[in-house]
Structure 1
C-alpha cells in the first residue's frame, strides 16, 4: 500500500524542499508525479529500476554526489543531514528506500543538477519529457501522464482552488 499523494506532498516533499531552500509548488507537483510514476507512490519501493519512491539507481545516486553535491559542500551537508547517521555509512543506497526525506532531496537535486527548468504546471507533456530524461530514459510518456492524472491532478485542483 502506497502513500496518499496529499500526505506525501504535505509531510515529506514540501518540508524537504523548504529545508533545502528550494520550495515551489511546481516542484512539489512534479515530485509527486515522479513518485506516482516510478513506484506507484510507494507500492514498489525496491525494484530493478531503482530504490525508493523515485526509483533512483545507485549509479545515479552516486553520480549526483560526485558530480553535483561534491561541488557545493553546504548543500551536501544539508543533504547528509537528512540521512541516518550510521545507516548511511554502511548502506547509502538503502537510504533511498527507507528515508523519504533523503530520497526526496536526492530526487529534486537530480532535477536541479540537470539544469532543465520545469515547464508551466499545465504543460504535462513537458513535465513527462523531463521525467523521462532524468528518471526513466526508457519510460513511456503515457506512464507519467497517467500517474499525473490519477495522483497529481486532484492535488493541483485543490491548490488552484486555494489560490
Structure 2
C-alpha cells in the first residue's frame, strides 16, 4: 500500500516547497511524478535492485553529495533543510530520514533537481517532465521516460493532478 497521491501533494510536497520559498505547480508536478515512477507512490520504500531509499528512492551517495557540494555552499538553505530533519536520528543516521521523514525527503529530492540549475518544463508538458526527471534525477535502473509517463497517467486517474 502506497501513499494517497492527493495527501502527498497537499500535506507534504506543497507545504515543503512553500517552506523552502520555491513552490510552483511545475515543481509540485515534477515531485509527484518522481514519487510515482521511483517508488510507486511509496509502495516500494527501498529500491530492490539499488540503494535508493524512501518515496523518491534517493541514494545515500546522492544525499551526501547534495549536502557536501550544494547545501554546504548555502548555509541559510542548509539550515532550513536541516530544520525539517528529526533532532536525534539525523545525527545518528542521516540517510534514514529519506525513508522516515517525508518532508525532509521531499526537500532533498527537490534540491537534487534545483542544483542542476536548469529551468523546469511547464507543469502540463508531461513528456518534457519525464525527460527532465530522466536527465536530472533518474535512479531506477530500468525506468524510462515512457515508464514515467505511464506511472504519472496512472497516478492522475487516482487524484486531481494537473498535466
- Asked if TM exceeds 0.5, the reply is yes
Q: Trace 1:107-126 onto structure 2 (pairs within 5 A).
A: 107-126=109-128
SS at match of 1:126: helix
Q: Distance in 2 between matches of 1:75 and 1:24?
A: 18
Moved over 6 A (4+): none
Q: Deviations over 1:32-52 (max 9, x none)?
A: 110010001110111224010
Bigger proportion of residues as helix: 1
User: Structure 2 length normalisation: TM-score?
Assistant: 0.91
How many pairs were matched up? 158
Distance 1:62 1:134, change over 3 A: same
Tell me what 1:73 maps to.
Answer: 75
Displacement of 1:117 after TM fit?
Answer: 1.3
User: Structure 1 length normalisation: TM-score?
Assistant: 0.91
Q: Distance in 1 between matches of 2:105 and 2:124?
A: 26
Q: Distance in 2 between matches of 1:56 and 1:27?
A: 17
Equivalent pair of 1:52/1:97 in contact (CA under 8 Å)? yes
Q: Distance in 1 between matches of 2:156 and 2:22?
A: 20
Unpaired runs of 5+ residues, structure 1, are none
Displacement of 1:125 after TM fit?
Answer: 1.5
Displacement of 1:134 after TM fit?
Answer: 2.3
Distance 1:50 1:72, change over 3 A: same
